[in-house]
Structure 1
Amino acid sequence: MDDSKVVGGKVKKPGKRGRKPAKIDLKAKLERSRQSARECRARKKLRYQYLEELVSSRERAICALREELEMYKQWCMAMDQGKIPSEIKALLTGEEQGKAQQNSTKLAKAAKTDANSSNP
């Protein structure tokens, strides 16, 4: 007699569930494992290169911002002493306004580029 059962309109046969283990050649399995390990190491190496480039670009941005901050500090110290730096005079008169806008645009673009490169 057949051991199959009818449950909910479907015929179920007794036995093990899932995939049956395929008989795989041991050498092929080892070779696949080695290949997987090589690919894993290559991905890891690329990830570290990406992170190192990201860190160096951030360090460059930090240096540029520190230089800008130092310049502003010097301007403030000069104004505290009653002197108006020539750069500020030029900005007030509008001579250097175009250059200041270009510099601020460059800094904004650099910040956006760094922000975009941080999203992997």
Structure 2
Amino acid sequence: MHVIEENNISEGPHRKESGKRGRKPGRKSAEKVDMKAKLERSRQSARECRARKKLRYQYLEELVADREKAVFALRKELEKYLDWAKELDEGRIPEGAQELMDELASVKQES
């Protein structure tokens, strides 16, 4: 069994009365220059962010276009093989199938 000591509830975090918050008298012109520089840095940062975003979208669009081309090529190849399967089922040798078989046989012999 542990005994827990309770601190006085009225004690809170210690605060300094003379903090650095609030306005400082006589610094308005320096603050304006700082504010203008800060705004310009913010604008420049926003321009750079938009440029990066534009490049990222261009990259993604190119990536999607390349993938779509690959999908279309694979669909075309699939249709070709489906047609070949139909012709083989009918007892005919499809056009180009013999060449593929010869190519595969030569690759197998090399291995």
TM over 0.5: yes
Q: How many residues align?
A: 80
Q: Does 1:63 align with 2:72?
A: yes
Residue by residue over 1:31-67, the C-alpha shift from the partner in whole angstroms, topping out at 9 and shown as x without a partner, is 0100000000000000000000000000000011011
- Equivalence for 1:26: 35
CA RMSD of aligned residues (A): 2.6
Query: Could you tell me which of 67, 83, 98 is aligned with 1:74?
Result: 83
- Equivalence for 2:48: 39
Larger radius of gyration: 2
- Equivalence for 1:48: 57
Query: Could you tell me which of 84, 87, 99 is aligned with 1:90?
Result: 99
Q: Percent identity?
A: 60
Displacement of 1:85 after TM fit? 1.0
CA distance in 1 between counterparts of 2:100 and 2:66 reads 30
CA distance in 2 between counterparts of 1:31 and 1:90 reads 67
- The structure carrying a bigger strand percent of its residues is 1
CA distance in 2 between counterparts of 1:46 and 1:67 reads 32
Displacement of 1:26 after TM fit? 0.8
Displacement of 1:84 after TM fit? 1.2
Displacement of 1:89 after TM fit? 2.3
CA distance 1:28–1:73, shift in 2 (3 Å): same
